[in-house]
Amino acid sequence: MGIFFFYMFVASATPLFLWLEYHKLAVASIPGIFAMWILGAIYIISPSWWLEAWFIFTFSVNVVLAHYAAIVLYGMPYIKQKRLERQPKRLI
């Protein structure tokens, strides 16, 4: 359960990273983060299989969104830079 809490904190920080460039995506991810934390807290208090299933689902969606945000924010500028470097130089 400890790894879940670590990733829950990472997924919760995702809107902070997205806020300047991707404001709409950051706002859209906030309800999922609240649902993930609420379901996680309820599951800790009284574990049941259906709460665990919904918690894992919201957790997975938020982790995928966090990884997508990391790729968009940090990977895409690097990929674009490498593509520009590989293009042949024009003489004109």
How much is the pLDDT for 1? 64
* Residue 48 to residue 35: CA distance in whole angstroms: 16
Query: Residue 91 domain-assigned?
Result: no
Model confidence band, residue 39 (pLDDT cutoffs 50, 70, 90): confident
- Specify whether the CB–CB gap between 61 and 5 falls below 8 A: no
DSSP annotation string for the chain: -HHHHHHHHHHHHHHHHHTTT-HHHHHHHHHHHHHHHHHHHHHHHS--HHHHHHHHHHHHHHHHHHHHHHIIIIIHHHHHHHHHHHSPPP--
Query: Residue 10 domain-assigned?
Result: yes
Q: What is the pTM of this model?
A: 0.66
Query: Residue 92 domain-assigned?
Result: no
Number of domains in the chain: 1
Domain of residue 30 covers: 2-86
pLDDT above 70: residue 61 = yes
- Specify whether the CB–CB gap between 59 and 4 falls below 8 A: yes
